[in-house]
A and B are shown apart, each in its own frame.
Chain A
Amino acid sequence: QSALTQPPSASGSPGQSVTISCTGTNSDVGGYNYVSWYQQHPGKAPKLMIYEVSKRPSGVPDRFSGSKSGNTASLTVSGLQAEDEADYYCSSYAGSMIGVFGTGTKVTVL
């Protein structure tokens, strides 16, 4: 399984929106509605932000939203705040019980 493709970086000013893409294949992102997104601050463990493409776990602000079209999933962070500055990783089910992560995107709040 090859890693899903994400842009290395994205940025926005406080209050703006930023969207991160996650491109896979018909065998992972395009084949299942099991895309999840994780936020990782430096030196910290990843934290689940979105699961099943667009669902938010309890406690995750509604500024975070997810979507999918074909083989590409997206995470949008609206109303950017300083604490949103972190690395973000997508992940997808890839069949046969195996998962795959994206290459990661560093989000900078300008």
Chain B
Amino acid sequence: EVQLVQSGAEVKKPGESLRISCTASGYSFNTYWIGWVRQMPGKGLEWMGIIYPDHSDTTYSPSFQGQVTISVDKSISTAYLQWSSLRASDTAMYYCARLRYASGSTYYMDVWGKGTTVTVSS
């Protein structure tokens, strides 16, 4: 079964750092893009960025460029979303998803993790 398992809920203080994870199983991790999506409380989905595990090629939405870092560890089929200094406004649910992308052919997220809740509060 293809699945993405995300790390557990986090409660942090402003200014702290954080890394959340997304571990894939049931498919060839290296050859599918992984994306991250933010959903703030009571709000809609926001596309954050994507990474291609095989060579760590990464693209960020302009809204998130410089605010977060996306990375992978191919040896354990895991993608990460990282903050160096959290703000209260980072409080949200964060989803990872497998992105089906082929240039000139297709682009959609077909498998989703259950989400990681991040709460930032002093």
Complex: chain A residue closest to B109, CB-CB: A48
Write out the residue numbers on chain A whose beta carbons fall within 8 Å of the beta carbon of B47.
1, 91, 98-101
Complex Cα gap A17–B106 (Å) = 28
Chain A interface extent, by class? 20 to 34
Question: Which secondary structure dominates chain B's binding surface?
Answer: strand
Contact at A34–B45, with CB atoms within 8 Å? no
Write out the residue numbers on chain B whose beta carbons fall within 8 Å of the beta carbon of A46.
37, 45, 95, 97, 109, 112
Convert A47-84 into 0s and 1s, putting 1 for each residue whose CB lies closer than 8 angstroms to a CB of B: 11001100001000000000000000000000000000
A104 at the interface (CB under 8 A from B): yes
Q: Among residues 90 to 104 in chain A, which have CB atoms less than 8 Å away from a CB atom of chain B?
A: 91, 93, 96-104
Other-chain residue from B95, B107, B109, B113 in contact with A32 (beta carbon distance below 8 A): B107
Convert B34-54 into 0s and 1s, putting 1 for each residue whose CB lies closer than 8 angstroms to a CB of A: 010100000011110010000
Contact at B109–A91, with CB atoms within 8 Å? yes
Contact at B44–A103, with CB atoms within 8 Å? yes
Other-chain residue from B59, B97, B112 in contact with A96 (beta carbon distance below 8 A): B59
Write out the residue numbers on chain B whose beta carbons fall within 8 Å of the beta carbon of A91.
45, 47, 108-109
B1 at the interface (CB under 8 A from A): no
Complex Cα gap A103–B43 (Å) = 8
Which one of A1, A97, A103, A104 has the greatest number of beta carbons of chain B within 10 Å?
A: A97
Known: A1-B61, A46-B112. A51 touches B106 (CB 8 A): yes
Known: A1-B62, A38-B45, A101-B44. A93 touches B107 (CB 8 A): yes
Show the binding face of B for A, using Cβ within 8 Å: 35, 37, 44-47, 50, 59, 61-63, 95, 97, 99-101, 106-110, 112-115
